[in-house]
Amino acid sequence: MTSSFKTVALFGKQPSEAVAQTLLEIRQFLTMRGFTVLFEPGDVQASGRTELAPADIARIGSSADLAVIVGGDGTMLGIARELAPHGVPLVGINFGRLGFITDIPLLRWPEALGAVLDGHFVAENRSILKARVSRDSQVIFESSAVNDVVISRSSRAGMIDVQVHVDGIYMYSQRADGLIVATPTGSTAYALSCNGPILHPSLEGIVLVPVAPQALSNRPIVLPAKSVISMSVAEGRETRVNCDMQTFADLQLGDLLEVSRADYTCRFLHPSGYSYYATLRSKLNWHEMPSLAPRL
């Protein structure tokens, strides 16, 4: 089968000599198959190969047909946020621990990547959140998130009081350690650890999950995908907002944080036979039988 991909961009977890070596092996694999290969500047430096010409995100976004990421989920999230606006599909090779979205095992990358390049893959479009913080009507922070946007207190401060409006309508004042706004992809990340629901990636909802709320009746809620969620801190010290735990901004009382779905998506490519349910079984240990408690 003739591949529809011509130019492939490679990204890796930094700094890691093992990852850099794997990237060079993948480059050789791709070059032998006739693909043009692009490297991000940091990966060129990590590889120590001065003959490799670096390409910035703008060039990769306009030239690459596919991006291959070697690393963990955190590396995948960072690259996904940068390339999603350009529509470049991503393939993840797991060099981390969990591997929820980097689903090609490291030892199987030649056969799995080869199959993807030959057109044998399952494609998924994952929704993206965009976040914007305004202070005195001036935008002071903008970012995007594949997993979640989180507003939270400092470890040195007490609970915060977050006022929440949805589409301009007052929803509630949440007194808690924080509030998570998550995509379906992010529903199995921080939101899940706070007892949020699991949303299938094909859904288009947005889930709000309080972090250690003062009132135990405050529960997670799933909102329509087109919702605009506006939040402001009415009480609390040293409050922060983060996107995928990778971009941050400090908040002051009265700052307005607006979160909504972006008008573009992130496209993930999985090997043929990929099943989201199989991923859940594997990563959440659903396949294990509960052990019986010993008798006294």
Is the predicted pLDDT of residue 52 greater than 90, yes or no? no
* Domain end call among 101, 119, 137: 119
Q: Which residues are catalytic?
A: 73
Residue 283 in any domain: the answer is no
For residue 110, what is the domain's CATH number? 3.40.50.10330
Query: What pLDDT score does 14 carry?
Result: 82
Residue 1 confidence class, pLDDT cut points 50, 70, 90: very low
- Spatial CA neighbour of 178 closest among 209, 134, 207: 209
* Mean pLDDT (whole number) for 149-166: 92
Is the predicted pLDDT of residue 181 greater than 90, yes or no? yes
Residue 146 in any domain: the answer is yes
* Mean pLDDT (whole number) for 120-147: 97
Same domain (yes/no): 145, 259: yes
Same domain (yes/no): 234, 259: yes
Which residue, chain included where needed, has tokens 């850099």? 20
Residue 222 in any domain: the answer is yes
Does an H or E element contain 61, and which?
helix 57-63
Same domain (yes/no): 191, 238: yes
Rounded CA gap, 237 and 250, in Å?
Answer: 10
Is the predicted pLDDT of residue 53 greater than 80, yes or no? no
* Mean pLDDT (whole number) for 116-124: 95
Same domain (yes/no): 146, 107: no
Same domain (yes/no): 257, 174: yes
Residue 236 confidence class, pLDDT cut points 50, 70, 90: confident
Residue 48 in any domain: the answer is yes
Would you say 179 and 221 are in contact if contact means Cβ atoms under 8 Å apart? no
Does an H or E element contain 117, and which?
helix 109-117
For residue 148, what is the domain's CATH number? 2.60.200.30
- Orientation angle between helical segments 109-117 and 17-32, nearest 10 degrees: 40
Residue 290 confidence class, pLDDT cut points 50, 70, 90: low
Same domain (yes/no): 133, 241: yes
Same domain (yes/no): 39, 106: yes
Mean residue pLDDT of the chain comes to 92
* Domain end call among 76, 97, 119: 119
Same domain (yes/no): 61, 158: no
Backbone torsions φ then ψ of 178, nearest 5 degrees: 175, 180
Name the residue range of residue 169's domain. 128-263
* Domain end call among 66, 84, 119: 119
Beta strands in the chain, from DSSP E residues, in sequence order? 7-12, 36-39, 66-71, 90-94, 104-105, 121-135, 138-145, 148-152, 160-166, 169-176, 178-182, 206-211, 221-223, 229-235, 239-243, 247-251, 256-271
Q: Per residue in 250-271, pLDDT tens? A: 999 999 999 999 999 999 999 9
Rounded CA gap, 189 and 80, in Å?
Answer: 16
Query: What pLDDT score does 102 carry?
Result: 92
Which residue, chain included where needed, has tokens 């991000």? 40
The per-residue DSSP string of 214-243 comes to SSTT---EEE-TT--EEEEEEE-SSEEEEE
How many domains in the chain?
Answer: 2
Q: Per residue in 190-226, pLDDT tens? A: 999 999 999 999 998 999 999 999 988 899 999 999 9
Same domain (yes/no): 225, 145: yes
